[in-house]
Structure formats: structure tokens, C-alpha cells
Amino acid sequence: MSLQAEQEQVVAPRAPAPARAPAPARAPALARASRAAAGEPDGAIGRALQPLNTARLRDDYQSQGSFLYLADFLPADATQQLIDAANALLPEVNRNYLPGHKAGGSVSRHTIDRLAPYIAELYRSPQLIAWLEKITGDRLQLSPEDDPHAYALYYYTRAGDHIGWHYDTSYYDGRRYTVLLGVIDESSCKLDYELHTKDPNKADEPGSVQYPPGALIVFDGDKLRHRVTPSLEGEVRVSLTLEYVTNPNMRPWRRFISNMKDAIAYFGFRQVFRKAFGGKA
Ligand SMILES: [Fe+2]
């Protein structure tokens, strides 16, 4: 089996996205309601989408071979929620090393479910899913409960952490989309990619981005060839991946391959085979 396939993402330094303009003064009750709304991921997504020209971004996504990059997407308060979660989950990071292909740390959706509900709720944001459906042109579904990649954090915290060239191959019967959100980037890591590699009518088009906290990338996992370049001593980079599918069915043999890959390359056997271990994460 090829461990080349699969998950992962991206990079980027720079300070968190600048705070939005302060809201005008309101009556206390309304201000409280507004603060509560600001704390909800779906509300943050609503604010993120407001200034976007989705029709134009849809065209960009298509012309780039099912790839889109937005350097400034999440509002600053939502980005800060992700940064806080990434720091809080540091003790939960599972380190993996695949000689010649990958080194880094991961925190799976199972751990996030226990300790970082904001991320689990962000993944299910109705406004985010509806917008992604407009961009991709597909009806999207959540990844199954037992998929540790459904939402996961990836940590680059040691010199040489990286992932080599790969696709986020779909083991599902349908397509698999990857959304990357920049969380922390105090690194020189770059997400290198090649567009159109599966399109015989277009020349391959290389690109590279160092995506900052709050940035968003979305792509069809089977179409974008990509890698993350190695981090240097003292650097830290954390990104959040969200995975959506068009058909959550997976045939047993593919399930086995996918589970083995996830256990070895990402989350460890205990996280991936939770049922066999009595359901403990
Ligand atoms: Fe990847």
C-alpha cells in the first residue's frame, strides 16, 4: 500500500488576521447577545463570508483545478479560539515519523471531541458547509464518526518536521475535500503544490504558499499534489484540517488500508482502532 496518500496540509507565518472594525455601541442586552454570537463558530463563519464574492471565488476554484486559497478568512476571535485549542492540546500530540516521507505530530478528531468542542462545532458549521458546496459544486457530507481525519490538528514542532509530495487520496466511494485553516505559524514551512496534475489538457502549474493564521485553503484531495517543506530548529507551525466527503461509504479493504495508514502515519493504533481497544481514545 502507498503511504504517500493522505491528509495533511499547510503552513504559514504572520500575525493573526487583523481584528475587524469594532462594533458600534449597543444596548447592554444586545451587546451580550452579540458577544454570545461572536463565540459561536457558525457566527464567525457568517462574518467571514460576508465580504466574499463567492461567485468569483467559485470561478477561481474551477480555473485552478479544484483549489482555492484565501489568505485572510477567519475573523480574529475565531482564529484565537483555534490558537488556544492548539496550545491546550499540545500534551495530546501523537508524534509520527515515516523515513523519507513524513515527520510531525497529530491530534485526531476523537481527542478534539473530548477537549476542543469549538473545533468540532466549527467543522459542522452550516454556513461553512453551504459555502463549500457553492465553491465545490458538490453536496457535501460530514466524514463518518470513526474517521480520525474528519477534523484534526497537525503540528510541526521539531526541526525537519514535514510531509512529502502526496495527494489526500479519497478511500471513500465519493470525493474527499480538504479544508486547511492556518492556526499557528512561527515557521519557514511552505505548502508547495501542483495544480492540474490529473488534467491531461492543462500543463502542471506549481505554486507555493506560507499560509498565516486565519487563512483558508480548500481543494479536492485527489487532484492537488502537495507537500509541506521541513521546519527548522525552534520553529512551530500548527494547522487544522477539515475533511468533507460526497459519499461516506468505504469498502472494507479500503477501510483496512486507510486505518493502517492513519495508525502508522498519523494518530497511532489506539486512536484509530478505538473500538478494538474498548472505545478509549
Ligand atoms: Fe495532504
Domains of the chain and any CATH numbers:
37-272 (2.60.120.620)
Give the residue among 242, 17, 213, 21 at the shortest CA–CA distance from 119. Answer: 242
Ligand 1 mean position, distance from CA 277 (Å)? 28
Measured CA to CA, the distance from residue 53 to residue 144 in angstroms comes to 31
Ligand 1 mean position, distance from CA 5 (Å)? 8
Measured CA to CA, the distance from residue 78 to residue 42 in angstroms comes to 10
Ligand 1 mean position, distance from CA 263 (Å)? 16
Measured CA to CA, the distance from residue 79 to residue 213 in angstroms comes to 7
Ligand 1 mean position, distance from CA 44 (Å)? 25
Residues of the chain with pLDDT under 70: 1-39, 274-281
With contact defined as beta carbons under 8 Å apart, do 11 and 211 qualify?
Answer: yes
Q: What's the pLDDT at 24?
A: 38
Measured CA to CA, the distance from residue 43 to residue 45 in angstroms comes to 5
Ligand 1 mean position, distance from CA 6 (Å)? 5
Q: What's the pLDDT at 162?
A: 96
Ligand 1 mean position, distance from CA 153 (Å)? 12
Report pLDDT digits (tens) over 212-233. Answer: 999 999 999 999 999 999 999 9
Ligand 1 mean position, distance from CA 56 (Å)? 25
Measured CA to CA, the distance from residue 148 to residue 151 in angstroms comes to 7
Ligand 1 mean position, distance from CA 77 (Å)? 26
Q: What's the pLDDT at 277?
A: 58
Ligand 1 mean position, distance from CA 209 (Å)? 14
Q: What's the pLDDT at 23?
A: 39
Strands 236-245 and 151-156, bridge-based pairing: antiparallel
Strands (E) in the chain, as ranges, are 67-70, 94-98, 102-107, 141-142, 151-156, 162-166, 176-186, 191-195, 205-209, 216-220, 225-228, 236-245
Handedness of CA 231, 116, 108, 135 (dihedral sign): negative
Q: What's the pLDDT at 196?
A: 97
Q: How far is CA 182 from the centre of its chain?
A: 8
DSSP one-letter string for 130-173: HHHHHHH-S--EEPPTT-TTSEEEEEE-STT-EEEEE-----SS
Q: What's the pLDDT at 191?
A: 98
Ligand 1 mean position, distance from CA 226 (Å)? 6
Write down the residue that cell numbers 461516506 correspond to: 248
Ligand 1 mean position, distance from CA 91 (Å)? 23
